[in-house]
């Protein structure tokens, strides 16, 4: 199924807004921040390729969604804007699923080779590799027997549920982590214009799951014949 760039841009914008609400969107990203985000792209690309080799269709779908999320944000940090042109996949139109996975696997070697040279990889290179990851994942999603857009929407909504809107849930979350000897702080924020809270671990600012959080299940978005 041909993907709609307008729909994809909407979901990419939601990723950016999520990071903004979480307090993770720097006004002027530096090289370290951009590189660290790209390392997440490599991690998700590797996991997607592994899931494909294991013939786990649910994990492949989960992987392409995760690549979309982390690569969209990496591109936002590196390029400074969300552009619908990111989602144009013409050069991958005729790629098979195996070829898409090969592209995802090749990213790690390209990065390692570039990092071992005397000059550190440039932001332009990170942008280019993030685009390869994004477009390979999008083309791979088109080869799957499943509902990628539905799954992506579910992933974004699940991430949004990490921002509780109820003070009662915040209190229960703080109490829950207190029982685990983990100090957390509840910070007021806004997501898509609506007030909410983000729960952060005091030691390092990691976003913590709120009380009652349920992880997304992508099985309903994969054809029953392929699960």
pLDDT tens, 162-210? 999 999 999 999 999 999 999 999 999 999 899 999 999 999 999 999 9
pLDDT digits (tens, 9 = 90+) for 6-24: 899 899 999 999 999 999 9
pLDDT > 90 fraction of the chain, expressed in percent and rounded: 81
Whether this model's pTM surpasses 0.75: yes
Neighbours of 17 (CB within 10 A): 17
Question: Residue 224 — very low, low, confident or very high, per pLDDT cuts 50/70/90?
Answer: low
pLDDT digits (tens, 9 = 90+) for 71-85: 999 999 998 765 666
Residue 220: both structure tokens together: 């309903």
Mean pLDDT over each residue of the chain, to the nearest integer? 92
What is the per-residue DSSP string for 96-142? -HHHHHHHHHHHHHHHHHHHTSSSPPPHHHHHHHHHHHHHHHHHHHH
User: Domains of the chain by range and CATH?
Assistant: 5-159 (1.20.120), 163-201 (no CATH)
pLDDT digits (tens, 9 = 90+) for 41-62: 999 999 999 999 999 999 999 9
Q: Which helix (H) or strand (E) holds 223?
A: none
Contact 36, 73 (CB under 8 A): no
Question: Residue 149 — very low, low, confident or very high, per pLDDT cuts 50/70/90?
Answer: very high
Q: Which long-range contacts (CB under 8 A, 24 or more apart) does 145-149 make?
A: 145/57, 145/222, 145/223, 145/225, 145/226, 146/57, 146/61, 146/221, 146/222, 146/223, 146/226, 147/221, 148/1, 148/3, 148/61, 148/64, 148/65, 148/221, 149/3, 149/4, 149/7, 149/11
Half-sphere exposure of 165 (CA within 13 A, CB side): 8
**Whole-angstrom distance, CA of residue 81 vs CA of residue 72:** 10
Q: Could you tell me which residues are beta bridge partners of residue 198?
A: 187
């Amino acid at each position: 199924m041909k993907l709609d760039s307008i729909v994809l841009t909407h979901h990419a914008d939601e990723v950016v807004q999520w990071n903004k609400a979480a307090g993770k969107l720097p006004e002027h990203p530096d090289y370290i921040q951009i590189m660290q985000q790209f390392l997440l792209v490599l991690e998700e690309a590797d996991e997607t390729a592994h899931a494909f080799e294991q013939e786990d269709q649910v994990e492949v779908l989960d992987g392409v969604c995760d690549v979309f999320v982390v690569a969209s944000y990496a591109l936002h940090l590196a390029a400074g804007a969300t552009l619908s042109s990111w989602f144009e996949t013409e050069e991958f139109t005729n790629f098979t699923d195996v070829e898409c996975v090969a592209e995802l696997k090749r990213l790690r070697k390209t990065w390692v080779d570039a990092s071992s040279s005397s000059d550190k990889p440039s932001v332009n290179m990170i942008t280019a590799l993030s685009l390869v990851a994004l477009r390979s994942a999008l083309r791979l999603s088109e080869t799957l027997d499943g509902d990628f857009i539905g799954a992506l929407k579910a992933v974004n909504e699940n991430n949004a549920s990490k921002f509780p809107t109820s003070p009662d849930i915040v209190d229960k979350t703080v109490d829950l982590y207190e029982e685990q000897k983990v100090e957390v702080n509840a910070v007021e924020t806004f997501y898509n214009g609506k007030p909410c809270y983000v729960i952060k671990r005091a030691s390092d600012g990691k976003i913590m799951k709120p009380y009652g959080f349920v992880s997304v299940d992508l099985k309903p978005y994969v054809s029953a014949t392929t699960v």
